[in-house]
Amino acid sequence: MQKDLGNYRKSYTKKQLLEKDAPESPMELFKRWFHELESSGSTDEPNTVTVSTNGLDGFPKSRVVLLKRFTYEGFVFYTNYQSEKGRAIAADPKICLSFFWPYLERQVIVKGEAEKLAENLSDGYFESRPEGSKLGAIVSPQSEVIPSRDYLETRLKALEDQYEGKEIERPAYWGGYLVRPSSVEFWQGRPNRLHDRLRYTLGQDLDWILERLAP
């Protein structure tokens, strides 16, 4: 089977990204772009991000998660530390985050190192989650082979009975990561495939070096 996709084409004309408009910090530009995305109303989940890790099997792997916070330090997401993703990060904390915002014809690509959040910060976020999401984090042996869907449903029902009227505490194997960026590339679609690509790279003096890349 084959399907020719060569006629799928789009001209990017909405925005531009010039050096004169780039702030000193990439996090400041990310904040600006994210606010514009939220204001556009173009997506139900503007905080979706693709996380890529170097897998224990030697293959890179990418998956979509939800970004839960960003600050001048970096980007925060939560997961099961014992999952395939968590084990890969434990072995090699160098990861990539990729944001794709087609409505604004933009991408952001982050290279950095992931580190576990302080336990009290993971506790605080876990407490804010709906009860079903809390139980889901306990029920699912993330990334492990399981016998059936019924296996999960049965475990969930048992935990609902067990925790009825009780506080659900965060399991030690579930929590957050802070990704501290060493490189942040901003990509803005432009006509004729001459896209704007500005890359911030963290220098030895912890200052950000701004460079333009060829499209």
Residues annotated catalytic, as ranges: 193
Q: Got the DSSP string for 66-77?
A: E--EE-SS-EEE
Rounded to whole angstroms, the Cα distance separating 156 from 159 reads: 5
Cα Rg, the chain, nearest whole Å? 20
Task: Tell the burial category of 74 from Cβ atoms under 10 Å away from its Cβ (0-12, 13-18, 19+).
Answer: buried
Q: Give how far the C-alpha of residue 162 lies from the chain's centroid of Cα atoms, to the nearest Å.
A: 33
Rounded to whole angstroms, the Cα distance separating 63 from 192 reads: 30
